[in-house]
Amino acid sequence: MKTYIKDYPRPQMVRGEWENLNGIWGFAFDDQNIGEEASWYKDFRGDMKITVPYTYETKMSGIEKEERHDFVWYSRNINITEAMKEQGRIMLHFEGSDYITKVWVNGQFVGKHRGGYARFSFEITDVAHVGENSLVVKVEDSYDAHQPRGKQRWKDNNYGCWYVQTTGIWKTVWLESLPQEYLKTLKITPNFKEKEVEVELDVEMNSEDLVIEASVEFDGVEVNKSQVRIVENHSKIHLNVFSLAVSEWGMETWSPNAPNLYDLNVRIIKGGKILDEVNSYFGMREIRIEQSNILLNGVPLYQRLLLDQGYWKDSHLTPPNEEALIADIDKTLELGYNGVRKHQKVEDERFLYWCDVKGVLVWSEFPAAYQFSDYAVESLTKEWMEIVSQNYNHPSIITWTPFNESWGIPEVKTNQAQQYFTESIYYLTKTMDPYRPVIVNDGWEHTISDIITLHDYEEFGDVFFNRYNGYKDEILKNSIYHSRHKSAFANGYSYKGQPIIISEYGGIAFDNDKEGWGYGDKVDSEEAFIKRFEDITDAIKESPYICGFCYTQLSDVQQEVNGLMDIQRNFKVDPKRICEINKRQIGFWRNDNF
């Protein structure tokens, strides 16, 4: 896309003036939590070095200490040029820092953010001067099971499917220069049926004679351009994308088979002068539920998903580089999958960009807390809304998943307060985005949900098939458990005809050391792996009412060794054989969106 700049951290809203602050920073542990009282933000005391954005627990950070440290400090100098000052505003962005982040520039406090996964920003114009400036960051983390943490352990050692914690800055930190009047947010909604795109804009404005100009191109061909006078901070523009110069059908659509994207340019103009210019893009696609089917662009969609936890051996949650993200996507496609369930992680936005470009479907899932409390409710709600807003524009995201396996809502089956919480998150998400399905409590004990998802690690294909074909009604009526002694629905809720997907299965362990684990018995040969994989995958596809699956998982993760690849991303079995099984059309599912 025209927006693309390698390593640019916010690919849906691109400007030319920016500076990447990743690299070597000063670093210190503050186990006694004395740094603020001792004014470390003015006189930094750290004598260690760390490579941002890798956390101290990782090899790529240069430290590689996995023990717990709840208070950590960072420091570096940033250079502010005359041109940046003259531009008007200077913004400091953090793509992700876990968990409570406090920031000082030249000893002046500029802001605080709570949450480990959402982007946050501070304007530092008034405290920064031309030349060298001191930037100091303190991050507070803990083993608190009430805070959203995903797969990060809350004990001193790994166990089960929980891994080494992620403390501090773990995504890109960067600077951006802005004019006094500028575009703050951009929300892009394709209207598939009307062949138009709605662009909502929030503008920081100080005058009344501003104009927004928005233009759309496809593959270098101008499709539409419109200007609207700004009368208030929030504005909308509707742009028709119908063009016979682009397609004989008037519109190019986005799908895994043809991930067509339109370029979008937005300018803020005053008296004929361009004050601010942002490049973005969008895909014309529609995802909706019709009875028991999920429709992509009006055609039933069969989802072949791969569970992707986004962990790397030497950098943990942080991708080693952009190329590593691209490689994971390419290998997912090579294995015959058309999408990923990004599990218990909000991935680097560059990942979503490449999913948009390459046509990979994405389920966006929020990292869980593990205890239910007012604090947990408040924390999850606030950060989930930030994430839905930040990632709304990506056409690859087709499903929002705020809860998984009753984590953080352990009594949701019977507890009314926890049920109300899931309903509130469902409706809040649908308020911000009424166009995508929302899955509440992926796996079991559903309350209100657009798709019913079931997790089942059965080893044998015939048992799998008989369970979901011989006992379908009993499972959906909660009269028997479907897996792991779990009911499909929480008490008081029932099946309403929604689509059904097996959103976790497989997890076959093969060619691993004795310490690792998978689901069921380990296999001892590639042929045994292929046989089990084929049997259970075909059993799902032979069930006509099941409209997709998600295999566990892309790669090994620390002690969990049930990936199709090892942690270094080497295939354990022939990807061509896995691809053939995944793409083989059997039974009811024979269409263009398989």
Q: CATH no. for residue 265?
A: 2.60.40.10
> Distance between CA atoms of 250 and 195, rounded to whole angstroms?
8
Q: For 350-400, how does the pLDDT look when each residue is reduced to its tens digit (9 = 90+)?
A: 999 999 999 999 999 999 999 999 999 999 999 999 999 999 999 999 999
Same domain, 33 and 134: yes
H-helix segments, 335-415: 349-358, 374-391
Beta bridge partners of 342: 308, 364
> Distance between CA atoms of 241 and 591, rounded to whole angstroms?
27
Give pLDDT, residue 209. Answer: 87
Lowest mean pLDDT across 227-236, 324-333, 485-494: 227-236
Q: With respect to residue 219, please indicate whether it lies within any of the assigned structural domains.
A: yes
Give pLDDT, residue 267. Answer: 97
Q: With respect to residue 533, please indicate whether it lies within any of the assigned structural domains.
A: yes
Q: How many CA atoms lie within 13 A of 359 on its CB side?
A: 16
Q: With respect to residue 117, please indicate whether it lies within any of the assigned structural domains.
A: yes
Give the range of the structural domain holding residue 446, as residue numbers without chain letter: 287-583
**Closest to 127 (Cα-Cα) out of 111, 144, 145, 108:** 108
DSSP letters along 319-342, please?
-SSHHHHHHHHHHHHHTT-SEEEE
Q: For 540-562, how does the pLDDT look when each residue is reduced to its tens digit (9 = 90+)?
A: 999 999 999 999 999 999 999 99
CATH code for position 485: 3.20.20.80
**Closest to 78 (Cα-Cα) out of 27, 124, 28, 131:** 131
**Helix (H) or strand (E) segment spanning residue 427:** helix 416-432
Same domain, 186 and 166: no
**Token couple for 6:** 């390698």
CATH code for position 126: 2.60.120.260
Same domain, 171 and 195: no
Same domain, 306 and 247: no
Same domain, 297 and 427: yes
Q: With respect to residue 536, please indicate whether it lies within any of the assigned structural domains.
A: yes
Residue 590: pLDDT band with limits 50, 70, 90: low
Give pLDDT, residue 593. Answer: 66
Q: Would you tell me the crossing angle of helices 575-583 and 322-334 to the nearest 10 degrees? A: 60
Q: With respect to residue 2, please indicate whether it lies within any of the assigned structural domains.
A: no
Total number of domains in the chain? 3
Query: Residue 587: pLDDT above 80?
Result: no
Q: For 412-469, how does the pLDDT look when each residue is reduced to its tens digit (9 = 90+)?
A: 999 999 999 999 999 999 999 999 999 999 999 999 999 999 999 999 999 999 999 9
> Distance between CA atoms of 72 and 69, rounded to whole angstroms?
7
Q: With respect to residue 507, please indicate whether it lies within any of the assigned structural domains.
A: yes
Provide the CA 456 distance to its chain's centre, in angstroms.
Answer: 24
Same domain, 171 and 198: no
Same domain, 445 and 304: yes
Average pLDDT over residues 225-250: 93
User: Are 425 and 275 within 8 A, CB to CB?
Assistant: no
DSSP three-state, residue 166 = coil
Same domain, 212 and 174: no
**Closest to 170 (Cα-Cα) out of 122, 203, 137, 216:** 137
Beta bridge partners of 52: 23
Same domain, 331 and 456: yes
Query: Residue 100: pLDDT above 80?
Result: yes
Residue 592: pLDDT band with limits 50, 70, 90: low
**Closest to 434 (Cα-Cα) out of 211, 197, 179, 191:** 191
What is the number of H-type helices and E-type strands within the chain?
Answer: 9, 29
Same domain, 308 and 391: yes
Task: Taking the CA atoms of 555, 561, 564 and 570 in sequence, report the sign of the dihedral they define.
Answer: positive
Q: For 303-324, how does the pLDDT look when each residue is reduced to its tens digit (9 = 90+)?
A: 999 999 999 999 999 999 999 9
> Distance between CA atoms of 241 and 157, rounded to whole angstroms?
54
H-helix segments, 483-574: 526-541
DSSP three-state, residue 519 = coil
Domain boundary among 163, 178, 193: 178
Q: How much of the chain, in percent, has pLDDT values that exceed 70?
A: 98
Q: With respect to residue 258, please indicate whether it lies within any of the assigned structural domains.
A: yes
Domain boundary among 282, 305, 329: 282
pTM reported for the whole predicted model: 0.96
Q: With respect to residue 412, please indicate whether it lies within any of the assigned structural domains.
A: yes
Same domain, 73 and 150: yes
Query: Residue 291: pLDDT above 80?
Result: yes
Same domain, 158 and 205: no
Give pLDDT, residue 153. Answer: 96
Give pLDDT, residue 483. Answer: 82
How big is the CA angle at 552 (ends 549 and 554), to the nearest 5 degrees?
110
Domain boundary among 220, 255, 282: 282
Q: For 151-199, how does the pLDDT look when each residue is reduced to its tens digit (9 = 90+)?
A: 999 999 999 999 999 999 999 999 999 999 999 999 999 999 999 999 9
Other C-beta atoms closer than 10 Å to the C-beta of 362 total 23
Q: For 33-63, how does the pLDDT look when each residue is reduced to its tens digit (9 = 90+)?
A: 999 999 999 999 899 999 999 999 999 999 9
